[in-house]
Chain A
Amino acid sequence: MLALSVVLVSIVLLSGTGLAAVIAGRSDRTALHLATAGSVLACSAGAIAALAALIGGELASLKAAWPLPVGQLHVALDALSSFFLVCVFVVSGLSAVYGAGYLQAYIGKRRLAPALFFFNLLVAAMAALVIARDGILFLAAWEVMSLASYFLVTFENEREEVRRAGMTYLVASQLGVAFLFVLFAVLSRGASTYDFDAFAAAAPAAGLANTCFWLALAGFGTKAGFWPVHIWLPDAHPAAPSHVSALMSGVMIKMGIYGLLRALTFLGPPPAWWGAVVIAIGAVSGVAGVLHALAQHDLKRLLAYHSVENIGIIALGIGVGLLGSSHHNPSIAFLGYAGALLHVLNHGLFKGILFEAAGSVLHATGTRDIESLGGLSRRMPVTAAAFLLGSVAICGLPPLNGFVSEWLIYVGAFRASASLPHAWAVAALAAVPALALIGGLAAACFVKAFGVVFLGEPRSEAASMAHEAGPAMRTSMILGSLLCISIGIWPAAAIRLVAPAATVIGRLPSVPMAAVGPLSAITRLAVLLLALVTLLTLLRRALLRGRSVGTATTWGCGYPGATARMQYTAASFAEPVLEPFAAAIPRRIHQEGPEGYFPAKAHYEQHLGDMAGERFLLPATRRAVEALSRLKVIQQGRLQLYLVYIAVTLVVLLVWQLAGR
Chain B
Amino acid sequence: MRNIAVNVALLLGLPPLLLGVINKTKALLAGRNGPPLLQTYLDVWKLLGKGAVYSRTTTWIFRAGPIVSLAAVLSAGLLLPLASNTSPLGFAGDVVAFAYLFGLGRFFTMAAALDTGSSFEGMGASREAAFSAFAEPALFLSLAIVCVPAGSATFSMAFGTLPWATWGVSHPTFLAAALSLFAVLLAENSRIPVDDPNTHLELTMVHEVMVLDHGGPDFAFVLYGSAVKLFVIGALLVHLLVPIPADGGWRGAVLLCGGEIALAVAVGVVESVTARLRLRRVPQFLVGAAVLAAIGLAALYYRGAP
Contact = CB atoms under 8 A, between A and B. Distances in A.
B306 A518 contact: no
B96 interface: yes
Interface centre among B97, B117, B217, B306 (most CB of A within 10 A): B117
A551 B216 CA distance: 13
Interface string A559-594: 000101011100011111101100000000000000
Interface stretch (B15-23, B68-76, B269-277): B68-76
Contacts of A407: 93, 96-97, 100
Interface in A424-442: 425-426, 429, 432-433, 435-437, 439-441
Contacts of A440: 103, 132-137
B122 interface: yes
A339 B141 CA distance: 21
Contacts of A573: 122, 125-126, 129
Given A456-B57, A549-B51, A549-B53, A429 B148 contact: yes
B148 A552 contact: no
Contact of B148 (A417, A441, A448, A517): A417
Chief secondary structure at chain A's binding surface: helix
Contacts of A410: 93, 96, 153
A576 B279 contact: yes
B59 to A, nearest CB: 5
B52 A567 contact: no
Contacts of B68: 533
Given A378-B59, A411-B153, A439-B103, A568 B92 contact: no
A275 to B, nearest CB: 17
A544 B216 contact: yes
Interface string B32-71: 0000000000000000101111111111010100011011
Nearest to A541: B217
A440 B107 CA distance: 10
Given A411-B153, A555-B212, A398 B56 contact: no
A365 B233 CA distance: 44
A410 B95 CA distance: 10
Contacts of A652: none
B97 A522 contact: yes
Contact of A555 (B91, B92, B95, B118): B118
Interface string A159-179: 000000000000000000000
Nearest to B284: A580
A536 interface: yes
Interface stretch (A213-221, A309-317, A523-531): A523-531
A552 B91 contact: no
A415 B152 contact: yes
Contact of A429 (B99, B120, B144, B152): B144
Nearest to A423: B301
A452 interface: yes
A321 interface: no
B75 A452 contact: no
B71 A532 contact: yes
A115 to B, nearest CB: 35
Say which size band chain B's interface belongs to: 35 or more
Nearest to B52: A549
Nearest to B113: A451
A437 B56 contact: no
A537 B67 contact: yes
A328 interface: no
Contact of B144 (A414, A457, A536): A414
B115 interface: yes
A635 interface: no
Nearest to A413: B153
B136 to A, nearest CB: 4
B242 interface: no
Interface centre among B63, B79, B100 (most CB of A within 10 A): B100
A382 to B, nearest CB: 13
A579 B127 CA distance: 12
A450 interface: yes
B85 interface: no
Given A437-B133, A444-B129, A573-B125, A544 B217 contact: yes
A108 interface: no
Contacts of B26: none
Contact of A549 (B54, B100, B135): B54
Given A536-B221, A567-B118, A572-B122, A433 B53 contact: no
B133 A553 contact: no
A556 B75 CA distance: 34
Contact of A536 (B55, B70, B106, B135): B70
B22 to A, nearest CB: 25
A525 B140 contact: no
A551 B121 CA distance: 18
A429 B297 contact: yes
A532 B93 CA distance: 22
A543 B48 contact: yes
Contacts of B127: 576
B140 A436 contact: yes
B137 A437 contact: yes
Contacts of B123: 568, 572
Contacts of A540: 63, 67, 217-218, 221
A419 interface: yes
A522 B91 contact: yes
Given A378-B59, A549-B52, A450 B111 contact: yes
A418 interface: yes
A425 B141 contact: no
Contacts of B304: 422
Given A418-B306, A525-B97, A576 B130 contact: yes
A432 B75 CA distance: 22
B279 to A, nearest CB: 7
B236 interface: no
B86 interface: no
B114 A451 contact: yes
Interface stretch (A70-78, A120-128, A194-202, A389-397): A389-397
B170 interface: no
A555 B55 CA distance: 8
A634 interface: no
A456 B93 CA distance: 38
A403 interface: yes
A224 interface: no
B194 interface: no
Given A418-B152, A525-B75, A447 B129 contact: yes
Nearest to B131: A576
Given A410-B93, A554-B213, A567-B117, A455 B136 contact: no
Interface of B: 48, 50-59, 61, 63, 67-68, 70-72, 74-75, 78-79, 89, 91-97, 99-101, 103-104, 106-107, 110-111, 113-123, 125-127, 129-130, 132-137, 139-141, 144, 147-153, 202, 212-213, 216-218, 221, 279-280, 283-284, 287, 290, 294, 297, 301, 304, 306
Given A375-B117, A406-B100, A577-B129, 19 more contacts: A397-B100, A410-B93, A410-B153, A415-B151, A425-B148, A432-B144, A433-B290, A452-B114, A455-B61, A457-B57, A529-B72, A540-B221, A547-B51, A550-B54, A553-B56, A554-B57, A555-B116, A564-B117, A580-B283
